[in-house]
Amino acid sequence: MPKPTPPTDALPLLLLVEDSQTTTVLLSKYLSGSYRLLHATDGVRAWSMLQENPNIELVITDIHMPHMTGHQLLVKIRKSDEERYQNLPVIVMTTAEDNVDRNLAFLNGANDFITKPIDEMEMQARVKVHHRLARTIRELEISRKALAEQATTDPLTKLKNRRAFFENGAKALAQARRYISDLSVILLDIDFFKKINDSYGHQTGDEVLILVSHILSSMARTEDTVARIGGEEFALLLPDTNRLGTAVLAERIRVAIEREKFIVGDKVVPVTVSIGIASFGVDPADSIDHLLSVADTRLYLAKNGGRNRICVNDDGKATFA
């Protein structure tokens, strides 16, 4: 029984760059059964189509074309900062005796070449091999990124975890030192969290952690790092933020959590947080661990002062709720 023909939209997308109508017709005939083909007559149009169509999985290009040659197109692809071009397979078409162009194509990053006049079976085989290899590499890269994301993400709240916070913090501190810029941290702890777990159950406790994480994420900037670094403990890493700006944000966070209605069944669970802050350049700190330790001391002072408040220095006098 013959295999069903896959729908056209499910076929891999290839880009053919060729100014010869005869060659274009031939290659379309050779490949159209297994691939979808886009066609450009020169490198300029091909480059535009690559940017417009992120689903292109392979490029077949001639060398000698108007406006932008195949060599120039290759160079643009390989020198691009966009990650998707790094493993994009490119097959170059050359004449049998054109060793100069063939060697230059390899130097510019071509994966393979095929000689004109083009043999149908050879073209199909080469495209199949390079397409499969590129797809395998892409799948491995996706898996690698997923594993890396898992290693730095808290599974419950989807925030960064303790490891990611310290990795990002070390980089941010090095940059703050280099450019003599501000860097601050906020450390916060949910007040009486054990009581919430004991009174309402661990599922409710998890829901409170998730809701707090959503509030923190919504109030942070793109360049900030928001992390869950302990059971009910969260930290924010704030590049280019001085102590005053950090104190203002910390108080906004405290108020937002205090005002949030955490509803469990027909009951409202009261949730508040205590917060300590520290700022590089103002507070003595030679590492991100040290800076967080300063914030931790102030978090303790905030709790000792009655909870549901922030503390910005070590004498405990600058606490407010």
pLDDT of 184 over the 90 cut: yes
pLDDT of 320 over the 70 cut: no
pLDDT of 6 over the 70 cut: no
Task: Give the residue numbers annotated as catalytic, written as ranges.
Answer: 232
pLDDT of 52 over the 90 cut: yes
Average pLDDT, the chain: 90
d(C-alpha 3, C-alpha 119), whole Å: 26
pLDDT of 277 over the 80 cut: yes
* Digit-coded pLDDT (tens) for 123-177: 999 999 999 888 888 888 878 877 877 788 999 999 999 999 999 999 999 999 9
CA 212, 290, 191: angle at the middle one, nearest 5?
Answer: 30
In 131-160, which positions are buried (b, 16+ CB within 10 angstroms) versus exposed (e)?
beebeeeeeeeeeeeeeeeeebbbeebebb
Percentage of the chain modeled with pLDDT above 70: 95
Contact indicator for 257, 271 with CB cutoff of 8 Å: yes
The ranges of the chain annotated as CATH 3.40.50.2300 are 8-151
Residue written as token pair 């490198």: 43
* Four-way CATH pick for 8-151: 3.30.1490.20, 3.40.50.2300, 3.30.420.40, 3.40.50.620: 3.40.50.2300
Taking residues 103-131, report their average pLDDT: 90
* Digit-coded pLDDT (tens) for 58-107: 999 999 888 899 999 999 999 998 878 888 999 999 876 768 888 888 89
pLDDT of 3 over the 90 cut: no
Class (C level, CATH) for 162-320: alpha beta
What pLDDT, on the 0 to 100 scale, is given for residue 268? 87
What pLDDT, on the 0 to 100 scale, is given for residue 308? 96
pLDDT of 317 over the 80 cut: no
Residue written as token pair 């097959």: 91
Closest CA to 232 of 264, 206, 203, 257: 206
Taking residues 213-234, report their average pLDDT: 96
pLDDT band at residue 4, thresholds of 50, 70 and 90? Answer: low
pLDDT of 267 over the 90 cut: no
CA 309, 314, 319: angle at the middle one, nearest 5?
Answer: 25
The ranges of the chain annotated as CATH 3.30.70.270 are 162-320
